[in-house]
Amino acid sequence: MTEETETVRKRDAVLPTQGGGWRVVASKEFADHIYSGRFVVLLGVLGIATAAAVFAASGGIREVAQQAEDVTALFLKLFTVTTDPVPFPLIIFVSLLAPLLGIMFGFDSVNGERAQGTLPRLLAQPIHRDEVILGKFVAGISVIAVMLTALVMLVAGIGIFRLGVTPTLAEISRLIVWLLFAIVYVAFWQGLATLVSVRTNRAATSALIPVGIWLVLALFGTFIFSAVADVISPEDGSGAAALANAQTEHFISQISPINLFQEGSNVLLDPEVRTTGLLTVEQVDRAIVSELNLTQSLGVVWPQMVVLLAMTAGLFALAYVSFMRQEVRA
């Protein structure tokens, strides 16, 4: 009886608790990502590029600091100001390069195990199949959150050192909300890469497909949306037709996660931005010059946040269902 009890005790110590298998997978994948070469390389490249952009932006802000004494949310200008050496603000930089984080941590999450022959052995463990893909996805998001948090802290540290201005509580609140928004944005690309990883057998193929989609949207998205808008709402030289064409192009561009993130970031990090859509001349003339608080900014940007979150959840749901229906042979 004592031997039986000892055997049961050892078995319970080895087996994951009921419903907690995904935590075991997530902790192992998280450790593998943290100690992997891709994590060090990506963090180093993004850190150097971010530091260079922030140094340039902070230098430009410091040069005009005396004229900007009455400007509120001066600290957040580090993320939104365009300076001479850098042709785009930091939020554009993040929107264009951060997707690589999600792609790198998701493109071989499943087919990498399949190629190494470890997937059947992993599923043979006392862990449910759904907990495997959930744990891998959570681990990727956790690593992404760590990297983005480190980059935001790097920007804040450089900004404080270069400007001598500490962020206010309102600015910190906006940065935290924007950081969560950025994590969801990168998680979208991880979900896309995970879905492709489930549906393809080669890691190279599963990396090329999301990278190709990212490049098309980043480099040619504006031209594609403009061409589609010209077909749906062609211009005839009148102001009404031009406005209809611009509104159609803006509506179509909302399918791009890059555009959703850029529009949301502009509102969250700049209290002076009051809308994400197009403004007519009458609306500009009647607009009252004022700044929005965080709650009001969230009221403006919630459609972008909800759509991006829904797209991310949809991609993971597709990857989840596809993985659950696949046959895994030893």
Read off the pLDDT of residues 107-164 as tens digits, 9 standing for 90 and up: 888 888 887 877 778 777 777 888 888 999 999 999 999 999 998 898 888 878 877 7
Sequence length of the chain is 330
pLDDT of residue 324: 87
Residues 45, 51, 57: CA angle, nearest 5 degrees: 135
> Is residue 10, in this structure, part of any structural domain at all?
no
Non-local CB neighbours of 235 within 8 Å, separated by 6+ positions: 241, 242, 245
Residue 17, pLDDT > 50, answer no
> Is residue 186, in this structure, part of any structural domain at all?
yes
Most confident of 50-59, 123-132, 221-230, 269-278: 221-230
Residue 195, pLDDT > 90, answer yes
- Token couple for 66: 């005396």
Residue 48, pLDDT > 90, answer no
Please tell me the total count of domains within the chain.
1
pLDDT of residue 224: 92
Tell me: the pLDDT tens digits for 249-263? Answer: 888 988 999 999 999
Question: Which of 99, 122, 100 is CA-nearest to residue 112?
Answer: 122
Angstrom distance (rounded) from CA 168 to CA 72: 10
78 contacts 46 by C-beta, under 8 angstroms: no
Angstrom distance (rounded) from CA 229 to CA 250: 9
Give the mean pLDDT of the chain: 81
* DSSP annotation of 85: S
> Is residue 330, in this structure, part of any structural domain at all?
no
Question: What's the whole-model pTM score?
Answer: 0.86
Select the more confidently predicted residue: 125 or 266. 266
Read off the pLDDT band of 278 (50, 70, 90): low
> Is residue 273, in this structure, part of any structural domain at all?
yes
> Is residue 5, in this structure, part of any structural domain at all?
no
- Domain, as residue range, for 155: 19-325
Select the more confidently predicted residue: 281 or 273. 273
Most confident of 11-25, 51-65, 120-134, 171-185: 171-185
> Is residue 8, in this structure, part of any structural domain at all?
no
Q: Report CA-CA distances (Å) from 265 to 78, 142, 279, 301, 320.
A: 13, 21, 18, 9, 29
Non-local CB neighbours of 136 within 8 Å, separated by 6+ positions: 25, 26, 29, 109, 110, 194
Residue 16, pLDDT > 60, answer no
